[in-house]
Amino acid sequence: MLDGGFDFFNLLRIGVDIALVWYVLYKLIMIVRGTKAIQLLKGIFVVIVVWLLSIIFDLQTIQWVTNQAILWGFLVIIILFQPELRRALEQLGRGSLFTRGSKSEEELLEKMIDSIVNSCTYMAKRRIGALITIERETGVGEYAETGIHINGQLSHQLLTNIFTPNTPLHDGAVIIKEDTIVAAACYLPLSESAFISKELGTRHRAAVGVSEVTDALTIVVSEETGNIAFTKNGELRRELTEGELRKLLLDNLSQNMKTPEMKSRKEGGETNG
């Protein structure tokens, strides 16, 4: 009995230990997702694979080189990953690295959608052109790097001000991640699809283009017509009302939220839309 109990608790301890390590790794990957750090992690993985192959095939020179790379790798990681490590420590200090309440997620989503919808509605009435990309699972960091880094809190006022005509940042796309405007004046890949109407301009083609290569959501406000369009997975929906845009954002950004409050809000949006 004692041996059986010892084995059970020993296995339980090992299982909890492994689960915690994997969870920490998962959260760290979520932090660096869509940034340059993810490319560096791929490089580290390649170095480790080369090191293992050099041991298997007894390639002494390559093994010595990779040993040096691994030996000094820890210091290099600290230097190269400084922004990501600082962000992780800040989140740990706020208690948001490992846990986040469902209520805070709902409030964050509601504020985010309100800011985007209010801004798009305001710009549509005044025929101010806009191109807004919202990151989801697939990182769009490579496109954010083509623009001007902002890293500002998302708000209706800031988003509208960016697209005000004759200002330095009004051309190009704004990229949003959660409640943060990551960058403005960004270049997005243009779609080569022959099904896009010839009457649509570069903004619409860029919106479709980025939705073909990522799972991002993109909103276009036409300066010619004042119409609002929405793209997802290569599909373009045009001439949306304020309610339709709000419902599309809510449906696509809250798919992973299963709380009763969010479900009731979604049902309310469907009824009102």
- How do strand 217-221 and strand 130-134 relate by DSSP bridges? antiparallel
Name the token pair of 184.
């403005």
Distance separating alpha carbons of residues 175 and 184, to the nearest angstrom = 6
Radius of gyration of the chain (CA): 23
One-letter amino acid at 186 equals C
C-beta of residue 135 within 8 angstroms of C-beta of residue 216: yes
Instruction: Please tell me whether residues 119 and 188 are part of one structural domain.
Output: yes
pLDDT digits (tens, 9 = 90+) for 102-153: 446 777 888 899 999 999 999 999 999 999 999 988 888 889 999 999 999 9
Q: Is the dihedral of CA 103, 109, 113, 116 positive or negative?
A: positive
List the domain range (segments joined by +) for residue 34.
2-94
Instruction: Please tell me whether residues 61 and 133 are part of one structural domain.
Output: no
Strand locations in 164-253, DSSP E?
173-177, 180-186, 217-221, 228-232, 235-237
If pLDDT is split at 50, 70 and 90, which confidence band does 35 have? low
C-beta of residue 141 within 8 angstroms of C-beta of residue 35: yes
If pLDDT is split at 50, 70 and 90, which confidence band does 80 have? low
Instruction: Please tell me whether residues 109 and 213 are part of one structural domain.
Output: yes
Strand locations in 23-147, DSSP E?
130-134
Distance separating alpha carbons of residues 149 and 156, to the nearest angstrom = 18
Q: What CA–CA distances, in Å, run from 106 to 41, 109, 252, 270?
A: 32, 5, 14, 17
In the predicted structure, residue 185 carries a pLDDT above the cut 90: yes
DSSP 168: T
Please report, for the domain that includes residue 254, its CATH number.
Answer: 3.40.1700.10
Last residue of a domain, one of 94, 116, 136: 94
Instruction: Please tell me whether residues 139 and 28 are part of one structural domain.
Output: no
Task: Classify 153 as helix, strand or coil.
Answer: strand
Instruction: Please tell me whether residues 169 and 248 are part of one structural domain.
Output: yes
**Cα of 260 vs its chain's centroid, Å:** 25
Last residue of a domain, one of 61, 94, 127: 94
Closest-CA residue to 153 (of 176, 179, 178): 179
Q: Number of folded domains in the chain?
A: 2
Instruction: Please tell me whether residues 67 and 184 are part of one structural domain.
Output: no
Last residue of a domain, one of 38, 68, 94: 94
Instruction: Please tell me whether residues 63 and 13 are part of one structural domain.
Output: yes
- Helix-strand-coil split of the chain, %, nearest 5: 60, 15, 30
Instruction: Please tell me whether residues 37 and 120 are part of one structural domain.
Output: no
Instruction: Please tell me whether residues 177 and 106 are part of one structural domain.
Output: yes
* pLDDT recorded at residue 95: 59
Instruction: Please tell me whether residues 46 and 110 are part of one structural domain.
Output: no
pTM over 0.75: no
Burial, 44: exposed, middle or buried (Cβ in 10 Å; 0-12, 13-18, 19+)?
Answer: middle
Instruction: Please tell me whether residues 62 and 122 are part of one structural domain.
Output: no
* pLDDT recorded at residue 201: 85
C-beta of residue 38 within 8 angstroms of C-beta of residue 142: no
Instruction: Please tell me whether residues 56 and 179 are part of one structural domain.
Output: no
Of 125 and 194, the one with more pLDDT: 125
Of 116 and 256, the one with more pLDDT: 116
Q: Give the rounded percent of residues in the chain with a pLDDT score beyond 90.
A: 36
